[in-house]
């Protein structure tokens, strides 16, 4: 466990002039000669106190990274770890010569097949959709080079690397494979899944007109049918006037009723703990969008989304099949939320991982999600 650093201003980030330190292990030695004051170093954290120790710096760094996503916030990462704890924490914090946090690899090590020790990102693989190394946008090359050298110097800790859920736009895919290969690792980057997304147009009419003819016709028909019920239908997004705890339980009930698979998922107490914790923390941070459609005074459909940095992330959903019969409230509520996102000036409507058909009928276009696998040849391990 490392001692925490006080929060730093990002007024002095000089990573473009820094070199990785020449030491091994803790990576605390500085380079020699004229670069002795221009070294980055890596501190390791192996207990859950890391989330408290770095909480003031974690999201500050994330806000200065190209990888700023809700799944990488300290709130999400700590909630996931508290619920699941599948291995041994191994969080690597990269700092510049002034002690500023410029990179963060939130990893853990877990025994895998054949008792191999595998490095994963906190959040891998379920219930979290996008994961990356967090690097200050002015320090990416330095951060990834330092991490690669550190990994080579600490081969006794692990046997392979398996980093999941890396979005196609991630600069990690540009930097990390090459520097790992430079250190002797064998690296494979392969597609893992897809995330369909909608780049939102200026108006809802533009959105509807942009759908395929059949999908456009079906959506309009379903919306007219719901609208025709009149006062028997309402929808809302949970706000200050609502009780979050009771609304979340209503959502979980709808989620259970939507499918046997979702009911079994919620039968795992760890998943329930995670859902309750992250919704509470996301609500407090202003990121939660929990929406319901009510038909004849009964909850019919719901979505648990995140509203983060101008994107709406469609995380999970619930449906009462009895109330929903012949009315498609889930699709109509989704359309209302797309319209709401456009009216609020949001940039993107992201369906997250999975290639379910409804995502494409609503206009989603695939973006790819990758995994990075790395191993070390035996000749290097034994050297």
Report domain extents, the chain: 15-194+369-381, 201-346
Per CATH, domain 15-194+369-381 is 3.40.50.300: no
Query: Could you give the 3-state DSSP secondary structure of residue 186?
Result: strand
| Residue 379: band (very low, low, confident or very high) from pLDDT cuts 50, 70, 90 | low
In b/e form, how buried is each residue of 170-190, taking b as 16+ CB within 10 angstroms? bbbeebbbebbeebebebebe
What the block records as the tokens of 119 is 């490095």
| Residue 126: band (very low, low, confident or very high) from pLDDT cuts 50, 70, 90 | confident
User: How confident is the model at residue 1, as a pLDDT?
Assistant: 43
Q: How far lies 242's CA from each of 199, 245, 247, 255, 317, in Å?
A: 31, 9, 7, 19, 19
- Let me know if the fold of 15-194+369-381 is the same as that of 201-346: yes
Q: State the Cα–Cα distance between residues 166 and 48, nearest whole angstrom.
A: 24
Nearest by Cα to 93 from 82, 107, 104, 106: 104
| Residue 17: band (very low, low, confident or very high) from pLDDT cuts 50, 70, 90 | very low
Superfamily of domain 201-346: Gcn5-related N-acetyltransferase (GNAT) (3.40.630.30)
CA 355-357-363 angle, 5° bins:
90
Nearest by Cα to 361 from 258, 194, 216, 149: 216
User: How confident is the model at residue 57, as a pLDDT?
Assistant: 98
**How buried is 6 (Cβ within 10 angstroms: 0-12 exposed, 13-18 middle, 19+ buried)?**
exposed
Q: State the Cα–Cα distance between residues 145 and 157, nearest whole angstrom.
A: 19
Q: What mean pLDDT comes out for the span 65-82?
A: 97
Q: Render pLDDT for 192-249 as a digit per residue (tens, 0 to 9).
A: 999 999 999 999 999 999 999 999 999 999 999 998 888 889 999 999 999 999 999 9
User: How confident is the model at residue 380, as a pLDDT?
Assistant: 66
Q: pLDDT at residue 294 above 50? A: yes
| Residue 329: band (very low, low, confident or very high) from pLDDT cuts 50, 70, 90 | very high
């Amino acid at each position: 466990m490392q001692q925490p650093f006080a929060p730093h201003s990002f007024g002095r980030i000089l990573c473009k002039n820094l070199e990785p330190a020449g030491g091994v292990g803790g990576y605390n030695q500085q380079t020699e000669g004229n670069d002795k004051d221009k070294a980055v170093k890596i501190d390791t954290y192996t207990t859950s106190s890391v989330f408290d120790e770095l909480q003031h710096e974690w999201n500050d760094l994330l806000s200065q990274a190209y990888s700023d996503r809700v799944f990488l916030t300290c709130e999400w990462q700590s909630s996931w770890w508290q619920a699941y704890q599948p291995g041994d924490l191994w969080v690597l914090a990269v700092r510049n010569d002034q002690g500023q946090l410029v990179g963060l690899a939130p990893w853990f090590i877990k025994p895998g097949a054949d008792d191999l020790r595998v490095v994963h990102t906190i959040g891998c693989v379920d219930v979290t959709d996008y994961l990356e190394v967090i690097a200050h946008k002015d320090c990416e090359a330095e951060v990834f080079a330092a991490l690669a050298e550190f990994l080579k110097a600490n081969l006794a800790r692990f046997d392979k690397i398996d980093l999941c859920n890396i979005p196609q736009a991630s600069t990690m895919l540009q930097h990390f494979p090459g520097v790992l290969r430079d250190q002797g690792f064998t690296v494979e980057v392969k597609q893992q899944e897809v995330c369909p997304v909608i780049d939102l147009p200026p108006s809802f009419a533009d959105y509807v007109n942009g759908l395929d003819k059949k999908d456009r016709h079906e959506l309009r028909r379903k919306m007219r049918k719901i609208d025709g019920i009149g006062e028997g239908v309402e929808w809302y997004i949970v706000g200050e006037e609502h009780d979050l705890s009771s609304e979340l339980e209503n959502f979980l009930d709808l989620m259970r009723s939507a499918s046997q698979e979702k009911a079994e998922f919620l039968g795992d107490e760890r998943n329930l703990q995670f859902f309750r914790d992250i919704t509470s923390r996301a609500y407090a941070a202003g990121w939660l969008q929990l929406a319901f459609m009510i038909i004849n005074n009964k909850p019919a459909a719901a979505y648990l989304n995140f509203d983060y940095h101008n994107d709406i992330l469609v995380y999970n959903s619930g449906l009462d099949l009895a109330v929903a019969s012949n009315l498609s409230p889930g699709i109509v509520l989704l359309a209302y939320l797309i319209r709401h996102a456009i009216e609020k000036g949001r940039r993107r409507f992201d369906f997250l991982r999975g290639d379910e058909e409804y995502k494409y009928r609503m206009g989603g276009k695939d973006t790819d999600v990758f995994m990075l696998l790395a191993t070390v040849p035996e000749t290097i391990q034994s050297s």
